[in-house]
Structure 1
Amino acid sequence: MTISVDPEQCYGSGDCVHRAPSVFTLVGGFGAVIPGREHAVDAPRVREAAEGCPSAAITIRDEG
């Protein structure tokens, strides 16, 4: 899976960081994927963060 956060869509609720702190962080007050964690395997928590994102800024692409 590949995870990304659209900085144009994110409004900085921080919900992603709360749900999956090993994958997400805040940069300049907005959600971002921690460098090197774009292919994280913490799937349930990442999916929960994407589904719960109030601005729908998180995208998950399943590979293969």
Structure 2
Amino acid sequence: MRIIADKDVCIGAGQCVLTDSKTFDQSEEDGTVIVLAEHPDDEQKVREAVHVCPSQALSIEE
């Protein structure tokens, strides 16, 4: 599993960080997503974060 984040689509809602703060963070400059672990340990949390992203900026590559 690999996380793909489209920063051009991200609106900085922060739902990914609230769901999995070990894998996601937000840029201090514009609030867009930062992927801390491209290949995460907790796949369930990552899948939930992708699901709750309001702008659909996150996706998973299997």
The reply to whether TM is greater than 0.5 is: yes
User: Please, what TM-score do these two structures have when normalized by structure 2?
Assistant: 0.91
Partner-residue secondary structure (3-state), 1:44: helix
SS of 2:33 mapped into structure 1: strand
1:58 aligns with 2:54: no
Give distance in 2, aligned partners of 1:50 and 1:30.
14
Match of 1:5, as an amino acid?
A: A
Stretch moving more, 8-17 or 23-32: 23-32
Q: Cα distance, 1:4 vs. partner? A: 1.8
Contact preservation (8 Å) 1:4, 1:32? no
Contact 1:24 1:31 in 2 (8 A): yes
What secondary structure does 1:45 align onto? helix
Counterpart of 1:12 in structure 2 is 12
Tell me the amino acid that sits aligned with residue 32 of structure 2: F
| 2:34 aligned partner, one-letter code | A
CA RMSD of aligned residues (A): 0.7
- Between the two proteins, the alignment pairs up a number of residues equal to 60
